[in-house]
């Protein structure tokens, strides 16, 4: 048995700033509530957000971290988000830090929470992180977003996997609401900018069709020394000068974005280099004559494996979408680019000219891995930057 090594140095005492519990400061804290699904399932829990009824499509995400980024992702507009990881809230919400060029928050993916509600198994009432300036519960309350803890999220997720995403509502004893289906209306106006704006400076200008764009897409473009012309989802591209077109992510059914599809079709006809992400992938596909369909329960996680069909290269990706492209409906000159290795669904398309392409996943991450960040370099090369 080896000798025990002794040291005379005193252990360093580190004070970890643990926030006080919010129970005394938030009205309605831990008030009983229920999640009701359209199939009649009722799951009981306790409020840790805004204690008022809400409704939307109930979906689940398998990410272990990243709840601030996910909740502010405009793609979640109209949905009640279920976190499958059991403990949520332990690192609070990061303080706002603005990007030096864009002026946009680098910690969150938009200016507000977009989920209709949040469902977790175990909310951490106390949080600790060097960047945090408030608790998740405080943030939800201030933003008027309902949330339940103490819910059997394992059972809920299995039900959603077996039966597919369902409509649901969070209700309390003195509050009731009707079910709401975000897939039967155009959500673009709720998440897009209302006016054009120019961000950054560069030798090449990118027209960004904002259908609910995440901040990190903009930051990823600016990092390549590109000037970003951020446009509303239904803007006329003929009114602007640019070197390449970028189509963002966004919420809902892609078939409601008819104006955007028409603009993309025109850009391709004019031979403008074009790249789409997530919803942008679906809109580009519709513009070139392919079809989209609704997935049973979607891909919402930070661990989705995809393979580049041209190179055989595999990557782990962040994803958030409920619709997908049917690759068999692609026209001549178009080919599948990436495939999902879990369920073989399409994850990207490209044109034989090399000037038009799109991916279903999120190369900008936030949250999640940055394995596919090189695609922004590819786009910059497409437009000669």
Q: Tell me what pLDDT residue 253 has.
A: 97
Task: State mean pLDDT over 23-47.
Answer: 89
| Residue that terminates a domain, selected from 118, 151, 184 | 184
Asked whether residue 172 falls in the same domain as residue 263, the answer is: no
Q: How far apart are CA 124 and CA 135, in angstroms?
A: 9
Q: pTM score, two decimals? A: 0.93
Asked whether residue 212 falls in the same domain as residue 178, the answer is: no
Q: Tell me what pLDDT residue 21 has.
A: 53
Q: What is the CATH number of the domain that holds 372?
A: 3.40.50.880
- pLDDT above 70 covers a percentage of the chain that reads 94
pLDDT bin (cut points 50, 70, 90) of residue 14 is: very low
Asked whether residue 137 falls in the same domain as residue 42, the answer is: yes
Asked whether residue 331 falls in the same domain as residue 378, the answer is: yes
Average pLDDT, rounded, for the chain: 93
Task: State mean pLDDT over 145-160.
Answer: 97
Q: Which residues are catalytic?
A: 278, 362, 364
Instruction: Kindly provide the b/e burial profile for residues 135-146, where b requires at least 16 CB atoms within 10 angstroms of the residue's own CB.
Output: bbbbbbbeeebb
pLDDT tens, position by position, 356-373: 999 999 999 999 999 999
Q: Tell me what pLDDT residue 26 has.
A: 79
Asked whether residue 120 falls in the same domain as residue 259, the answer is: no
Range of the domain at 301: 188-382
Asked whether residue 61 falls in the same domain as residue 154, the answer is: yes
Asked whether residue 297 falls in the same domain as residue 220, the answer is: yes
Asked whether residue 73 falls in the same domain as residue 173, the answer is: yes
| Residue that terminates a domain, selected from 164, 184, 204 | 184
Task: State mean pLDDT over 298-309.
Answer: 96
Is the pLDDT confidence value at 13 over 60? no
pLDDT bin (cut points 50, 70, 90) of residue 15 is: very low
Direct distance between the N- and C-terminal alpha carbons of the chain, in angstroms, rounded to an integer: 64
pLDDT tens, position by position, 263-283: 999 999 999 999 999 999 999
Asked whether residue 130 falls in the same domain as residue 206, the answer is: no
- As for how many domains the chain has, the answer is 2
- Residue 307's contacts (CB-CB under 8 Å, 6 or more residues apart) are 313, 314, 315, 338, 339, 341
């Amino acid at each position: 048995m080896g000798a025990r090594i002794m040291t005379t140095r005193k252990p360093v005492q580190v004070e970890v700033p643990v926030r006080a519990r919010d129970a005394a400061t938030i009205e309605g804290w831990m008030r009983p509530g229920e999640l009701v699904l359209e199939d009649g399932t009722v799951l009981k829990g306790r409020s840790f957000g805004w204690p008022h009824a809400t409704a939307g499509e109930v979906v689940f995400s398998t990410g272990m971290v990243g709840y601030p980024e996910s909740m502010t992702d405009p793609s979640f507009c109209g949905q009640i988000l279920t976190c499958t990881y059991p403990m949520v809230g332990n690192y609070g919400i990061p303080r706002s830090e603005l990007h030096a060029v864009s002026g946009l928050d680098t910690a969150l993916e938009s200016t507000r929470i977009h989920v209709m509600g949040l469902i977790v198994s175990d909310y951490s009432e106390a949080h600790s992180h060097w960047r945090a300036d408030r608790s998740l519960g405080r943030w939800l309350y201030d933003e008027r977003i309902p949330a339940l803890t103490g819910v059997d999220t394992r059972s809920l997720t299995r039900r959603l996997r077996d039966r597919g995403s369902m409509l649901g509502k969070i209700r309390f004893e003195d509050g009731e609401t009707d079910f709401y289906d975000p897939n039967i209306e155009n959500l673009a106006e709720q998440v897009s900018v209302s006016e054009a704006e120019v961000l950054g400076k560069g030798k090449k200008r990118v027209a960004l069709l904002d259908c609910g764009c995440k901040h990190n897409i903009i930051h990823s473009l600016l990092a390549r020394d590109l000037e970003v012309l951020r446009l509303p989802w239904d803007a006329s591209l003929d009114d602007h000068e640019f070197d390449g077109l970028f189509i963002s992510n966004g919420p809902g059914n892609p078939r409601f974005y008819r104006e955007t599809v028409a603009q993309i079709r025109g850009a391709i006809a004019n031979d403008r280099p074009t790249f789409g992400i997530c919803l942008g992938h679906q809109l580009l596909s519709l513009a070139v004559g392919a079809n989209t369909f609704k997935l049973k329960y979607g891909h919402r996680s930070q661990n989705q494996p995809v393979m580049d069909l041209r190179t055989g290269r595999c990557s782990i990706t962040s994803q958030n979408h409920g619709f997908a492209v049917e690759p068999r409906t692609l026209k001549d000159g178009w080919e599948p680019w990436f495939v999902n290795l879990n369920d073989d669904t399409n994850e990207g398309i490209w044109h034989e000219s090399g000037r038009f392409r799109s991916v279903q996943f999120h190369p900008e991450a936030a949250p999640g891995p940055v394995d596919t960040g090189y695609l922004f370099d590819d786009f910059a090369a497409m437009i000669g930057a």
